[in-house]
């Protein structure tokens, strides 16, 4: 076993996780047993003559920041599962309807917006990320509600940019709030429960629906209608929520780093919104033409992600246009696969291998990288560290 592998093993064991599988409860760096388990100390008075009763631990403070989506949808009637207006209800009213929330957290709300997820621009996500960090200065955790169409992109943008290591949980629903059998209420309640538990501190942003939660970097929407739509290909969920039990069965490698080395380079407070880069996605298929790449370059794209066949291959015409874009415009490309799982290791001059990032996630990683640097080697290094599931455990 290499020296680096031994270091990773020791770091994992320090978190209470074996090399074969994570233990049901993961102890994170700097967290007490009470913080990890979400224990509330009993307030029952001690009998006369006995030791004083321990002080009551205040419930964690969780702010729910709402952006709209199906979860805030008003259905045409109580049985209209698909006929509804997304982004209609206010989060304050929705949270007020949740039963027993006072047993798990002190919950506050903030209405950031009320639209479908795909209506938000990257500039809007810039504002959302800063708002999450602002909330975490006084709150113990944040829940962000969102539409599910681009939820994985919103979650990954937050994962890469939020500076606080406190829990951030993104949730939504596949059915509107007002329809029978809606998953909206359960998802919102469980997201608050997960955030309040503190168990995903240092995990980055996680996405929670259907009683399970996933790492934002790896999760994707896999079905247009089903409530179990969000999956993490090959790797699986991080854990599950069953009644009072919040169980973690694997941890992102990022969780091993601890506070000192946790942040990415993408501190949005250091740049203005006009400095956000423009990155597009070109999809390859049988005999795909060169037009998409040519048009993106002509329209001012700073970088382009290719969603290639197999391990990242693109058509002959796309390949020739990519070469021209690199030569004439110094455009940076990231190679990914369109297959839905697996990795792309195809790199080269001005071409970065996207590892197992899907095209939508790789676009956000490249967009943020280009927003903070124009140097290819720097950006490539960021992809190999912050954009990869693998991290180097720092020397102690």
Pairwise CA distance, residues 97 & 15, whole Å: 37
Question: Does residue 281 surpass a pLDDT of 70?
Answer: yes
In sequence order, what are the beta bridge partners of 246?
241
Return the percentage of the chain with pLDDT > 90, whole number. Answer: 77
Question: Does residue 385 surpass a pLDDT of 50?
Answer: yes
Pairwise CA distance, residues 88 & 85, whole Å: 6
pLDDT of residue 108: 98
pLDDT of residue 117: 97
pLDDT of residue 33: 32
pLDDT of residue 256: 80
Greater confidence (394 vs 185) lies with 185
pLDDT of residue 43: 33
Closest CA to 354 of 322, 316, 311: 311
Closest CA to 43 of 34, 35, 52: 52
Pairwise CA distance, residues 34 & 236, whole Å: 27
* Residue 389 · residue 379 · CB < 8 Å: no
The per-residue pLDDT for range 326-339, each reduced to its tens digit, is: 999 999 999 999 99
The per-residue pLDDT for range 235-261, each reduced to its tens digit, is: 999 999 998 889 999 998 888 876 667
Count of other CB atoms within 10 angstroms of residue 134? 15
- What stretch of H or E contains 61? strand 61-66
- State mean pLDDT over 84-89: 94
Count of other CB atoms within 10 angstroms of residue 90? 14
Greater confidence (51 vs 95) lies with 95
Question: Does residue 4 surpass a pLDDT of 90?
Answer: no
pLDDT of residue 54: 58
Q: Where are the beta strands (DSSP E) in 159-211?
A: 168-171, 205-209
Return the percentage of the chain with pLDDT > 70, whole number. Answer: 83
What domains are defined for the chain? 61-261 (3.40.50.1170), 277-385 (3.40.50.40)
* Residue 38 · residue 246 · CB < 8 Å: yes
- In this prediction, residue 106 has a pLDDT band, given cuts at 50, 70 and 90, of very high
Count of other CB atoms within 10 angstroms of residue 185? 15
What angle separates helix 151-161 from helix 359-372, to the nearest 10 degrees? 30
Greater confidence (392 vs 294) lies with 294
Closest CA to 278 of 255, 296, 265: 296
Q: Is 155 exposed, middle or buried (0-12, 13-18, 19+ CB in 10 A)?
A: buried
The per-residue pLDDT for range 17-65, each reduced to its tens digit, is: 333 333 333 333 333 333 333 333 233 344 455 455 556 679 999 999 9
- In this prediction, residue 1 has a pLDDT band, given cuts at 50, 70 and 90, of very low
pLDDT of residue 252: 87
The active-site residue, picked from 70, 148, 150, 232, is: 70
The terminus-to-terminus CA distance of the chain in angstroms comes to: 19
Please tell me the pTM assigned to this model. Answer: 0.85
Kindly give, in sequence order, each residue whose CB lies less than 8 Å from that of residue 47, ignoring residues fewer than 6 positions away. none
Question: Does residue 323 surpass a pLDDT of 80?
Answer: yes
User: Structure tokens of 322?
Assistant: 């990519």
331 is a catalytic site residue: no
């Amino acid at each position: 076993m290499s020296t680096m592998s031994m270091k990773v093993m020791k770091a994992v064991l320090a978190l209470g996780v074996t090399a074969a599988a994570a233990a049901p409860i993961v102890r994170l760096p700097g967290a007490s047993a009470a913080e990890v388990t979400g224990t509330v100390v009993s307030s029952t008075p001690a009998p006369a003559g006995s030791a004083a009763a321990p002080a009551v631990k205040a419930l964690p403070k969780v702010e729910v920041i709402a952006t709209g989506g199906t979860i805030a949808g008003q259905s045409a009637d109580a049985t209209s599962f698909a006929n509804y207006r997304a982004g209609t209800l206010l989060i304050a009213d929705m949270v007020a309807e949740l039963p027993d929330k006072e047993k798990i957290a002190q919950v506050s709300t903030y209405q950031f917006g009320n639209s479908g997820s795909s209506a938000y621009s990257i500039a809007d996500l810039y504002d959302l990320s800063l708002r999450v960090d602002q909330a975490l200065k006084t709150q113990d955790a944040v829940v962000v509600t969102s539409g599910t169409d681009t939820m994985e992109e919103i979650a990954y943008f937050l994962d890469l940019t939020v500076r606080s290591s406190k829990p951030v949980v993104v949730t939504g629903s596949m059915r509107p709030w007002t329809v029978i059998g809606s998953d909206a209420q359960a998802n919102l309640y469980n997201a608050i429960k997960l955030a309040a538990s503190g168990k995903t501190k240092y995990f980055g942003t996680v996405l929670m629906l259907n009683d399970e939660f996933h790492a934002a970097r790896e999760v994707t929407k896999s079905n247009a209608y089903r409530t179990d739509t969000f999956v993490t290909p090959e790797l699986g969920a991080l854990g599950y929520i069953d009644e009072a039990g919040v169980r973690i069965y694997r941890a992102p490698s990022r969780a091993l780093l601890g506070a000192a080395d946790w942040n990415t380079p993408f501190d949005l407070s250091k740049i203005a919104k006009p400095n956000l880069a423009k990155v597009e996605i070109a999809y390859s298929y049988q005999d795909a033409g060169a037009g998409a790449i040519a048009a993106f370059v002509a329209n001012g794209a700073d970088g382009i992600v290719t969603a290639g066949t197999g391990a990242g291959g693109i058509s002959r015409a796309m390949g020739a246009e990519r070469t021209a874009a690199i030569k004439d415009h110094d455009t940076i490309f990231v190679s990914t696969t369109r297959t839905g799982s697996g990795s792309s290791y195809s790199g080269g001059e001005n071409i970065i291998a996207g590892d197992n990032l899907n095209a939508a996630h790789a676009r956000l990683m490249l967009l943020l990288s280009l927003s903070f640097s124009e140097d290819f080697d720097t950006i490539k290094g960021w992809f190999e560290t912050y954009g990869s599931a693998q991290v180097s455990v720092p020397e102690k």
